[in-house]
Amino acid sequence: MKQICISVEVKRGQVLALFVFGLVALLSFAGLALDSGRLYQTRRLSQNASDSSALA
């Protein structure tokens, strides 16, 4: 009976570890997507300002 209780606790710990690693990966990709979008927006605004000053 004691072996079954230990097995359940180990599995519960494994699920927690997998959940944490998955959450970290998901948040990392979300942060990368936000940073990439911000970089693209800044580059586009800079190019627009450069084009406007060249035409002026």
Q: What is the pLDDT of residues 18-52, one digit of tens each?
A: 999 999 999 999 999 999 999 999 999 999 999 99
Instruction: Record the pTM.
Output: 0.63
The answer, yes or no, to whether residue 2 has pLDDT greater than 70, is no
Q: Look at residue 28 and tell me if it is in a domain.
A: yes
Q: Look at residue 6 and tell me if it is in a domain.
A: no
Q: Which phi and psi (to 5°) does residue 12 adopt?
A: -65, -40
**CA 55 to centroid of chain Cα atoms:** 40
- DSSP assigned state of 47: H
Residues of the domain holding 40: 22-48
The count of domains in the chain is 1
Q: Look at residue 55 and tell me if it is in a domain.
A: no
- DSSP assigned state of 1: -
Q: Look at residue 5 and tell me if it is in a domain.
A: no
Beta-carbon contacts of residue 35 (< 8 Å; ≥ 6 apart): none
